[in-house]
Copies of this chain bind each other. A is one copy, B any other.
Amino acid sequence: MKLDEVTISRAILKTHAEIFSGYLDLDIAIVGGGPSGLVCAALAAGDGRKVAIIEKKLSVGGGMWGGGMTFPRIVVQEEARRLLDQFGIRYTEYGSGYFVASSIEAVAKLTAAACDAGAEFFNLTSVEDVVVKGDGRVSGLVITSSPVEMTGLHVDPLTLAAKITVDATGHDAIVAHCVRNKGGDLFIHGEGFMWAERAETNIISHTREIFPGLIACGMAANAVAGEARMGPVFGGMLLSGEHAAVLARESLGRL
């Protein structure tokens, strides 16, 4: 077959423009492609719902790639082991009830699952503000190109609409802070001391709609709630993503 560079370039540009344009009004916008966001996307997408992950970096996976202190292994406790099984992530047991997996495999399998479920990904895309209109709901996101933001170039952002937004940006809780900074009625307590047991137990109850239209998920949930800091274990993160997906689908059903 004869290869033509311009056709290839057009294929990339036009396919992406079509998809990006189609996804400018989302059912569920998940901000942050770390472990909880990926699980949320994998479980919330499907059945025709328009779900996308907005990720500021080039790669998704968040803090999971480096395992603990750059040793590329993650630990998951018994309670969340079924999610490893569900996503096909292999593991070995260490001691009793601690399951160790490759951090790289975990990212790859969770991402693949989100793709297979039908979620879209917009990487190198930063959220710098939220849309809140007369109904008082977070109903959209102000997005910008990450490389532009990194270079400090003066370029205006675009806007996308989302019926439900999930803040899965880790302990920075970026979307929650956008709401707070603009005077929204939302208090962000910040994480407490590290206490893995407590944090892992409570994260599910903190995974909830923290502002109309906005669900906190993963470490962002604990940071907003003022919960204890999570230890180097990923079970609660995965379970929080699962719970956020359930909540998001329910909220969509009520709209």
Residues of B within 8 A of A158 (CB): 9, 12-13, 68-69, 232
Interface size on A, residues (CB 8 A): 105
Q: Beta-carbon contacts of A212-235 to B below 8 Å, as 1s and 0s?
A: 000000000000000001011100
Q: Show 14 A/B contacts (Cβ-Cβ < 8 Å), sorted by A.
A: A5-B159, A5-B196, A6-B140, A9-B232, A14-B94, A17-B17, A17-B21, A63-B154, A72-B122, A104-B123, A130-B193, A131-B193, A132-B192, A182-B229
Answer whether residue A1 sits at the interface, using C-beta atoms and an 8 A cutoff.
yes
CB pair A115 B122 closer than 8 Å: no
- Cβ-defined contact, A129 with B9, below 8 A: no
Residue of B71, B77, B200, B229 touching A142 (CB-CB under 8 A): B229
- List A residues 94-122 near B (Cβ within 8 Å): 94-95, 97-98, 100, 102, 104-105, 107-109, 111-112, 115, 120-122
Interface of A is mostly: mixed
